[in-house]
Amino acid sequence: MTQTATPQSGGGDVRLQGISKTYGSFTAVHPLDLTIPAASFFALLGASGCGKTTTLRMIAGLEDPTTGTVALGGQDVTALPPYKRHVNTVFQSYALFPHLDIFENVAFGLRRRGVKSVKKQVEEMLDLVQLGPMARRRPQQLSGGQQQRVAVARALINKPQVLLLDEPLGALDLKLRRQMQLELKRIQTEVGITFVHVTHDQEEAMTMADTVAVMNGGRVEQLGAPADLYENPATTFVANFLGTSNLIEAEVTGMGGEHLLLTAGGTTLRLPTRRCGAAPAARTGGKVLAGVRPEKMALIHADRADAVPEGHNRLPGRIKDASFIGVSTQYVIDAHALGELAVYEQNIERDGRLVPGAEVVLHWNPAHTFGLDAAQSPLAGTDLDEEAA
């Protein structure tokens, strides 16, 4: 057996250039340029069918790109079959070999590369994923969480340049999933290998990844650090898919210092000029979508409207629905001409009058407003993530 894939210490970077994939007339991935820095934890986030898994499979070599190139650690691997790429995958269904025990499953990659003494390495790896005593069991005798850890061990033992994870936590229940997220993050920090993680769960992506690429319809909508994506979404899809956003259609009526003055439903709102990067029509007379996250808005009963801090944006409305979820209360506010808005209030000092039917004033610091291009649908990305909820 030739040593086509030599183990290297640390991770390698992944460079995708103009990579695309079409099946007949269907384009799964539009030409895409992506650089994943070495030793980073990178997440491809999107709803099912957005092309994230296809992108991952092209990196693994399981799918041939229609156009473009894949480079790993500076080496073009586009033409190499999977068994010649120093990349390992944790499959969605784990794909453990049912005829081999846990030890042999983990040793599989080492044996194929002609490593003679595998015992010590396999035992160390099984200890890392806390499955030492299970070495002689068969995969079907293990629980879902244990199988998942075997799948990670089987891939990691080869010390790949890049570890690809294809929705590896999808089959686990919520509690185990949280635990495995932290576990994977710990392992990644420990071994320093580049992780590329595909998921439809925005919380999972934000918890684990250094960088998240949000994909939609075969394209990367936005790429950045989780907090940056959340605070500064560039499209309505990102604003709605990553958490929840209130998007208010407004007209730009003028400039006021560092703010744009907007009119929405007869009310004047202020939007910081520096947060209008994603709204090309943000000039007087143009239209923008003013976005605010629900947790950044506050509610106050209409009787106490004068207690709203000076300089805050304010909107009148009526409470349509309130659901108490422990840490916070989630309100749906009927903001008259502006439609329905969501507000999350922390349960610290609750005003007993804030019940459905009550007239209220919504207010928030203008600095928390972001501007988006009004040419897109304000509903993009809202109905896609019921799985991820």
Partner 1 sequence: MSTTEAPAPAPEEAAPLPVRRPPARKRLVPYWLLLPGILWLVVFFAAPLVYQASTSLQTGSLEDGFKVTWHFATYWDAFGTYWPQFVRSVLYAATATVLCLLLGYPLAYLIAFKAGRWRNLVMILVIAPFFTSFLIRTLAWKTILADGGAVVGLLNSLHVLDVTSWLGLTEGHRVLATPLAVVCGLTYNFLPFMVLPLYTSLERIDPRLHEAAGDLYARPATTFRRVTFPLSMPGVVAGTLLTFIPAAGDYINAELLGSTDQKMIGNVIQSQFLRVLDYPTAAALSFILMAAILAMVTVYIRKSGTEDLV
Site residues (vs partner 1, CB under 8 A):
4-5, 60-62, 81-83, 87-89, 91, 93, 95-99, 108-109, 112-113, 154-155, 158
Residue 6 vs 25, nearer CB to partner 1: 6
**Minimal distance in Å, beta carbon 99 to partner 1?**
5
**Minimal distance in Å, beta carbon 164 to partner 1?**
9
DSSP states of 55-111: HHHHHHTSS--SEEEEEETTEE-TTS-GGGSSEEEE-TT----TTS-HHHHHHHHHH
Q: Is the dihedral of CA 49, 222, 166, 28 positive or negative?
A: positive
**Minimal distance in Å, beta carbon 148 to partner 1?**
14
d(CA 104, CA 289): 56
Residue 111 vs 336, nearer CB to partner 1: 111
**Minimal distance in Å, beta carbon 82 to partner 1?**
4
Residue 155 vs 289, nearer CB to partner 1: 155
Residue 153 vs 247, nearer CB to partner 1: 153
List 260's β-bridge partners, or say none. Answer: 255, 271
Residue 52 vs 113, nearer CB to partner 1: 113
Count the Cβ atoms, other than its own, within 10 Å of residue 82.
14
**Minimal distance in Å, beta carbon 62 to partner 1?**
5
d(CA 334, CA 344): 14
**Minimal distance in Å, beta carbon 4 to partner 1?**
8
- 142 with 150: CB under 8 angstroms? yes
Residue 11 vs 109, nearer CB to partner 1: 109
Residue 64 neighbours by CB under 8 Å, 6+ apart: 58
Taking Cα atoms as reference points, which of 31, 19, 5, 4 lies closest to residue 70? 19
d(CA 250, CA 371): 10
List 248's β-bridge partners, or say none. Answer: 290
